[in-house]
Structure 1
Amino acid sequence: MQLHGLIHSFPKHIKFFIAAFVVVLSIGYISGLLFVGQTESTNPDGIEENYLGNEEVEDVKVMKFEKGEREMLTIIHTHILSMSFIFFLLGGLLAISSLPLKLKSFLMIEPFVSIILTFGGIYFLWKGVGWMKYVVMISGTLMTAVFVIGAGAVLIQLFSSEKK
């Protein structure tokens, strides 16, 4: 079965269905990023503070407390499962695109590595491995970049007529 470029042969109503899905998925992903921004977890120290608290820091705007084990396991469990589905579905759409094979493969596989590094890193940070905040920040940024590129590529592929 030939998957490469299959997306170009879909009828218009299926292309619009896929486009609507990718747009709504992107809105959901971006709203999650807005939440991360609200928790001030966009830098290494903010990431650390979000999970380990800041009760011992003087002169803070918002008091944060260390997350408990149950809360951490819930955060990690739900994010790993939901993000795996997000990237599985987006990867499936990338698989039928006409992007170059190496780019397509990277965009399909890398998010799963970043999911493990990001949420595994959050767990290890919470367990006291302080340098994991950098791993979390880098892998989270890469995961977001891959999402944006992948979603954009799918939308472009849906409405480009030629196979590349």
Structure 2
Amino acid sequence: MSEQAVHKGEAKAGVGGVEERPVGIDELLQRVRAGYTRVEPREAYEAAQHGEALLVDIRYAALRERDGLIPGALVVERNELEWRLDPQGSHRVREATSHDLRVVVICNEGYASSLAAESLQRLGLRRATDLVGGFQAWRAEGLPVASGAGAAE
């Protein structure tokens, strides 16, 4: 297919030469979320309290400072997530011990975290998921939130 055809918005060949049509973000989120079970705030809280899940906050610093932090959550900004959580990676955090690790990714409202969880699954973290409603749902549920001022990454 010519470069000109691609610029006109025509479908381009995907994996295996199969034509793929462009999808919007809503359809992409629906597809991604169909691949795993998302968790509600209370379930994530209980799992973390019992050492059954690692909560990972991917919100950017300004949101953490404005709204606060989830106590015990690992803060990893989105652009570093795969490098920090890949158990085989040279830049992994100490918590990234195994591909069996249950990771609950948390963004502000539960959208970016869905794409992030799917990316972690492609790295082999088969139990990666995300928080329905994100940090805002966590806070609305009345779950613990600490001050975000001066939070370290």
TM-score range, shorter chain: under 0.3
Q: TM-score, normalised by structure 1?
A: 0.25
In our comparison, the structure showing a higher alpha carbon Rg is 1
Structure with greater helix percent: 1
Q: Which has the higher contact order (CA 8 A, sep 6+)?
A: 1
Q: TM-score, normalised by structure 2?
A: 0.26
